[in-house]
Structure 1
Amino acid sequence: MNATFQELHIDQLVIHAKNVRNDVGIVTDLANSITEQGILQPLVVAPAIAGEGYTIIAGHRRYAAAKLANVDSLPCVIREDLDTEPKQLVAMLVENTQRADLTPVEEASAYQTILEFGDAFNVKTVAKATGRSQSHVRKRLLLTKLNEDAKVRLEEQTLNVDQALVLVDFAADEAATERLLAAAAQSPREFAFRVEAETRKRDLPGKLAALESELKEAGAKYVPESELYSGKYTKIYENEDNELTTAQHVAAGDLASIDRNWGRLSWYSKPSKAAKAKVELTEEEQEAKRRDAELSAALDIAHAIRAEHIKQVIASPPEGAADEALYRLLVRQLHSHVNLFAEITGRHPDSESDHQGIKAALADMTVEQMALLLHLAERSQEDELLKLWAWDAGDYRHSWYGGPKAWIEDLGSVYHYELSAVEQEVLDHFQQLHDARLAEVAAEELEEGEDDDA
């Protein structure tokens, strides 16, 4: 690096035509500071590529504040080695990307400008020069595809980077972009819903083509569009609820219907003679059915959004979420096990329906204690273990999930309980009975076999 220090007159300094920062912000306080104490940190400049003077590489805010404070000369570090526009732009980018107030749009624009200088610059070289990851640079470059409205929202921080990257996928569709921006202004949930809806709408032509091709190949027949909501036809299956193949439906004589607004395939049974004789639905009733179908499709999108949200919450639980989940499960379980709750915790709610009393008592417990208490309320078979049959593993009542046999196993694996001599004696007693019975059956079978041979 070839650098020298020199005081330069403010008229010798010029802002680079492709300056990374679009706005230096309000510099009044900085100007006042310069008036009182001078410029404490020198600007970084380079010889102008065209004409005389020096191009500012770093220090645009100090330059603007100095002009406001009527300062004539500024301390500068002159970088003689920055003798080409690409070098100067990279240097400005490196300096500015270390600043927290550089906006994503400004950063994206700078990366794009550098790449336009030629083959010597690519994502890898830009990432290396700026100390960013290649993934970060690629994502920022995607932001250059946004329309001006989206860029302004991103600058104003009414749209976050993650939402902006989603909008990039719809950059070619202005109408979809506007709908997504409107949804983003409402709430994250509305934005997620609209993204799912727009994604399905975008993918709809391909989905419809695939469905139509499959139905044509199978020789399927359709429900007449004019009679779809007439009441003559009974819906059998819809989309993933279907357990039959298209060929099986066709073989059964079922009729297909494709909702071309959502790409939903439904199957209907042929109307019977009785159905044909049935009074047809009025136009109002048919319209109500159409509305129900639209709402059902919208709920399908809402379901997808909820599923993704729940997955994210489980992957990275918010603070207090686990406690609240255990609270709610325990309150539901323990309102019918009040005596057990009182015995374990030493606190007794006012009544079996006193959810708040139980929840207040649970607040003093750790997550580990609540988890064990929930397991106890859900799985305990202590009342059954007072009965002799419960210790007989061969009893038919052990076949249901969570029965006494499973509870005995849980006592050992969860509660680290070792069976007493009496309990083991009971288990051994029943085991001996079963062994004896098996021996008797084996002897009877052997005897029958000998009689057949004779």
Structure 2
Amino acid sequence: MTPIEFRMIPVADLVDHPQNPRDDLGDPQKLAELANDIADNGNTEALHVFPIKEGPDAGKFLLVAGHRRTAAARLGNVEELYCRLRPDLDSLDKQLETMLRENTHREGITPINEAKAIQAMLECEGMSVKKVAKRIHRSETFIRSRSALVKLPESAKHAIDHGLMTLEQSQVFDDFADDEEATAELTRNAGTKDWAYTVNRLRGIRERAFKTAASEQLVKDLGIKTITSQQAYSSTKYVRDYDREKIPAERITAGQVAVISHTGDLEWYDVKAAGAKKKLTEEEIADKKRLQDISAGLEQAEALWNEFLESKIRDAAGHFDRPEDAPAVLALRKTMFDGYRATHDKAARALGIPLVRGTGVTSSDVESVEAAIGKLKLLQLAYLHAHLHLTRGELHKPSTWDVSGSWEKAALEEFLANRKEVFGYDITAFEQEAIDYWAAKAESGNQDDEEDDEEDYDDDDDA
């Protein structure tokens, strides 16, 4: 057995271990107090050092335990410290083991620092999870979980070490290890108030993707006839079947069709037997043709409006912000997407940003839009904010211009007034034609009701 040797060693001959798990010396005030105590009384607890035999530091001593006490001694200009020589610590794994066991009982070592040291031990020759666990008196599960932390993004490591994220929360990164886009979004939101929302949203996207893929495969394997959700919801021909007990084979035999819903699940519909097709009158044919013409015109009108809006925001780049504008700029950016109308895809179209094709607006789309918004000046932000909160969407649909109801009329008038007042944009001939069409339809309906009432009145007199 090697005899235990203690000696006083000059502080100048003590070399910090390059893989010391503890990279934070703690509270500077407490370190100063420790420095004064060591200067007055010396160090009563011996440092553990390994004699260096080779290399540029030959003849000096590698610190294994006592880095904080050594730092305090340097701060207090102490010349030498009481040390225990540990020639038995002649390999990195032995030194890491000693440092880990030492720091387990002291404040200051963070989960990430501990993880780095454990990973370094695992990488030593002949080491395994089982051996490391035994040597530092930890469970194998603990060793595996700590080792996994090393692979986390730096933002997540920072959040863990500063108490902004729990170790359990960090395990979410494992779930999305194969998804670079999701990992990037998790990294941006690690330790923020949006963490839980981000995790739930990404899990929802992944779950929908899995369900959609499974539904598509089932459709392919069984030859299921499908329709779009728009067909299902806009036609009385299809009737939803909510019976969950039926198996797909029964439904196919019954002639049902399916919709792959936004959640990825299959929705099943009975198909009503087609009745005799009603022959349209000349008046109905003319009305249908006019509605088609109006729809085509509204497509052009919406394209013109979007082009005008994009150029309006682009031209406002010539506006120069003043220092006193900073609060207004910040307020507009923070409230840009408040409210149900203010969506990232709507903003993308106004800014001329192409969306990534796929289901919904992806995190890449969101990142591109918010990055573009971050470069906008005050006037540009004001125009975009007004567009998202005051203007309407789906201007290409004839039904958008239906003012038969008092609420619809008020909402449309408000939109047109806002667009005129804020952007100086007048109603187009295509849009006015759509309004006139619905007004005429409403007037015609009212006249028919009045004629029916008159007929009922005459019948009462005859009686």
TM value normalised by structure 2: 0.54
Distance 1:94 1:235 in 2: 68
**What's the CA shift string for 1:243-286, capped at 9, x where partnerless?**
21111111222211113x53222112325558998x99xx9xxx
1:30 aligns with 2:31: no
C-alpha deviation, 1:42, in angstroms: 1.7
- Matching residue's letter, 2:249: A
Larger RCO (alpha carbons 8 Å, 6+ apart): 2
Alignment of 1:372-411 (within 5 A): none
* Contact 2:211 2:265 (C-alpha < 8 Å) held by counterparts: no
1:179–1:235 distance in 2 versus 1, CA, 3 Å = farther
1:37–1:223 distance in 2 versus 1, CA, 3 Å = same
Distance 2:33 2:237 in 1: 76
Q: Which SS does the other structure have where 2:202 is aligned?
A: helix
C-alpha deviation, 1:94, in angstroms: 2.0
Distance 1:135 1:100 in 2: 23
Q: Percent identity?
A: 37
* Contact 1:31 1:66 (C-alpha < 8 Å) held by counterparts: yes
- Matching residue's letter, 1:262: T
1:204–1:254 distance in 2 versus 1, CA, 3 Å = same
1:93 aligns with 2:103: no
Aligned residue for 1:18? 19
* Contact 2:112 2:150 (C-alpha < 8 Å) held by counterparts: yes
Aligned residue for 2:244? 242
Distance 1:18 1:258 in 2: 55
Distance 2:192 2:175 in 1: 20
> Which among 205, 218, 223 is matched to residue 222 of structure 2?
218
Distance 1:223 1:275 in 2: 22
Distance 1:129 1:275 in 2: 84
Distance 1:17 1:215 in 2: 59
Q: Which SS does the other structure have where 2:100 is aligned?
A: helix
* Contact 1:109 1:144 (C-alpha < 8 Å) held by counterparts: yes
**What's the CA shift string for 1:62-98, capped at 9, x where partnerless?**
1111111111101111111112222212221221233
Distance 1:218 1:163 in 2: 40
1:271–1:178 distance in 2 versus 1, CA, 3 Å = farther
1:56 aligns with 2:63: yes
Aligned residue for 1:170? 176
C-alpha deviation, 1:28, in angstroms: 2.1
Aligned residue for 1:253? 255
Alignment of 1:361-380 (within 5 A): none
* Contact 1:49 1:84 (C-alpha < 8 Å) held by counterparts: no
1:149 aligns with 2:175: no
Aligned residue for 1:114? 121
Distance 2:276 2:9 in 1: 94
> Which among 131, 144, 147 is matched to residue 138 of structure 1?
144
> Which among 33, 39, 42 is matched to residue 43 of structure 2?
39
**What's the CA shift string for 1:199-243, capped at 9, x where partnerless?**
3433555443332222223221011355244244656357xx722
Distance 1:57 1:110 in 2: 13
Alignment of 1:53-452 (within 5 A): 53-118=60-125, 120-180=126-186, 185=191, 191-192=195-196, 194-224=198-228, 226-232=230-236, 234=238, 236-237=240-241, 242-259=244-261, 262-271=263-272, 273=274
C-alpha deviation, 1:181, in angstroms: 5.4
Aligned residue for 1:351? none
Query: How many aligned positions are there?
Result: 280
- Matching residue's letter, 1:230: S
Q: Which SS does the other structure have where 1:32 is aligned?
A: helix
- Matching residue's letter, 1:76: C
**What's the CA shift string for 1:111-149, capped at 9, x where partnerless?**
11111112x211111111111111111111111121111
Point out the more displaced range, 53-62 or 196-205: 196-205
Distance 2:254 2:18 in 1: 73
**What's the CA shift string for 1:6-29, capped at 9, x where partnerless?**
100011101111111122223222
Aligned residue for 1:420? none
TM value normalised by structure 1: 0.55
* Contact 1:234 1:269 (C-alpha < 8 Å) held by counterparts: yes
- Matching residue's letter, 1:57: V
Q: Which SS does the other structure have where 1:5 is aligned?
A: strand
Distance 1:123 1:49 in 2: 31
C-alpha deviation, 1:56, in angstroms: 0.6
Distance 1:185 1:77 in 2: 42
Distance 1:197 1:165 in 2: 16
C-alpha deviation, 1:49, in angstroms: 6.0
C-alpha deviation, 1:47, in angstroms: 1.5
Distance 1:275 1:102 in 2: 81
- Matching residue's letter, 2:22: R
1:172–1:126 distance in 2 versus 1, CA, 3 Å = same
* Contact 1:16 1:55 (C-alpha < 8 Å) held by counterparts: yes
